[in-house]
Structure 1
Amino acid sequence: MQNALFIGVSSQVALQRELDVIANNMANVSTTGFKGRNARFQEYLMPVASADSFQARDRRVSYVIDQGTTLDLAQGAIEQTGNPLHVALRGEAFLTVQTPQGLRYTRNGAFELDARGNLVTSDGHAVQGEAGAITLGPQETGVAIGPDGTISTSLGVRGRIRLVTFANPQQLKNEGANLYSATAQPQPAGIAGRLESGALERSNIRPVVEMTRLMDVNRSYTMVSSMISRLDDMRGTAIRRLADVA
């Protein structure tokens, strides 16, 4: 009976984790360039939790282990905005930005110019080019961003946006504000990432799918809670009957 309770608790912990992941996905349905995550679980067979001494041997006890989350790199919908400073990323590349914590990576292509003419994201992080930050003068007009990230104005080519990829993007860590950090060294994106000017990549979250997952998780959690409650009642009944016999 104790094993059943432990299994139920491990399931509830895993379901709570999945609920947190779904909630975060739903909260970022409208976040530009957001990539959803999926909870990942693994069955763990307890090697010593068995009762082989009984005539009818018990099955091995199987617990649920939280194996973290996986990053869904599926392409989000491309929405035309007509803003020449907006770019939508196609492929698995990431934009490089400078933050107070160091270099970070994002899919947020909603660029703008700050008061000093620096190209920044909508959160104010400086967009990095191959030679560092990209700055445009007040006299420059006709800003255009090419598919490879080349930025041109009335004064000619002004730089190229740094696009990078990772050998294992699943190792990227969410830092909040639609940013990722990486322990591995990024590589130049090359043809693995292209930009579409005058457009934005929307979140790849599908609300209907997430709502379905949410209902499934709630249903499973309720079933496990009910099972634990019944087991607790059975244990209480067994204790009372043993007391009566004694």
Structure 2
Amino acid sequence: MSDKSIIGLSRLVTLRQQVDTVARNIANQSTTGYKSEGLRFREYLTEAKEEDVRSSPLRSLVAATVFTDFSAGPLQATGNSTDVAMIGDGFFVVAVPGGERYTRNGAFTLDAKGQLVTLSGQPVMTSTGSIRVSQQDGPVTIGPDGSISTGKGSIGRLRIVRFADQRQLSAESGGLFSAAASPTDVAATEVRLASGVLEGSNVRTVHEMSKLVAATRAYDQVANAILRESDPNELKRLAGEE
């Protein structure tokens, strides 16, 4: 296989990664608190002969790294007293087997045992751990500072954290993030929440659709260029026909 074909294949891998990333964003355009992902490209130019066309898609190697766009999504009113949206920087903390995760999805509810949980059932952490509410205590409300109250008064406060470098966060399924470093707890005076409201996905659907079309076209262009550059016998060998 020629060097150009190898370079072309590396571009195909990167373009496929871009298509997958965009498709994931589009699939989560309605997911509460979802943060869109993108790719940062780094292109390594290769030597080209005089007769080579400088604009050929097969003249450079491309590497890509995934990043998360943490810009705020639109606020959506729900009227549910246990729904809450984060205004500004910060993450809610939830418990998972073996540790904790961080999320911008403030769609919380009470499970059958009265524990404050996410819609997926993960316990929501307060400054003192998980929290349970008795039905006899009345409805639960969450204040602008994260305080949790019932008809009998304040019973706790949501744990809110921040990260000095959000690049330390790794996206997981369900709108959760894991972190390579420990976060900093945010004081009540620095927290601003909106109750009865959720933060929507920050995915720009039209923009993502345009990126998907462009990536698909580029993929086809590079694939066709590889076919033109490749030895027919080599292609048959790779296809298992020889």
Deviation at 1:157, TM superposition (A): 0.9
Give the aligned length: 227
Residue segments in structure 2 that go unaligned for 5+ positions in a row: 234-242
Q: Which one of 135, 140, 158 corresponds to residue 137 of structure 2?
A: 140
- Give the equivalent residue in structure 2 for 1:188: 185
In 1, distance between residues paired with 2:206 and 2:221? 23
TM-score by length of 2: 0.87
CA deviation map 1:82-132 (0-9, x unaligned):
111100112221100011232111111111001111100111000000000
| Aligned partner letter, 2:104 | R
Post-superposition shift, 1:2? Answer: 2.3
Alignment match of 2:196 (pick from 181, 195, 198): 198
Q: Name the CA distance, whole Å, in 2 between partners of 1:74 and 1:23.
A: 19
Larger Cα-atom Rg: 1
From 190, 210, 219, the equivalent of 2:217 is 219
Does the aligned pair in 2 maintain the 1:165–1:192 contact within 8 Å?
Answer: no
1:95 aligned partner: 92
32-41 vs 140-149, greater mean Cα deviation = 140-149
Instruction: Find the aligned partners of 2:203 and 2:186 in 1 and give their Cα distance.
Output: 24
Cα distance in 2 between the residues matched to 1:82 and 1:28:
23
Answer yes or no: is the 8 Å Cα contact 1:76–1:204 preserved in 2: yes
% identical equivalent positions: 44
Q: Distance in 1 between matches of 2:210 and 2:98?
A: 37
1:34 and 1:202 in contact (8 A); partners too: yes
RMSD: 2.2
Q: Name the structure where strand makes up a greater proportion of residues.
A: 1
* Pair 1:116-2:113 in alignment: yes
CA contact (8 A) 2:146 2:191 kept: no
In the alignment, which residue of structure 2 is the partner of 1:82? 79
What SS does the corresponding residue of 1:214 show, helix, strand or coil?
A: helix
- Letter matched to residue 70 of structure 1: F
| TM-score, scaled relative to structure 1 | 0.85
Taking the aligned partners of 1:133 and 1:207, their CA distance within structure 2 comes to 36
How far off its partner does 1:142 sit? 4.1
> How has the CA–CA distance of structure 1 residues 210 and 155 changed in structure 2, closer, same or farther, with 3 Å as cutoff?
same
Higher relative contact order (CA 8 A, sep 6+): 2
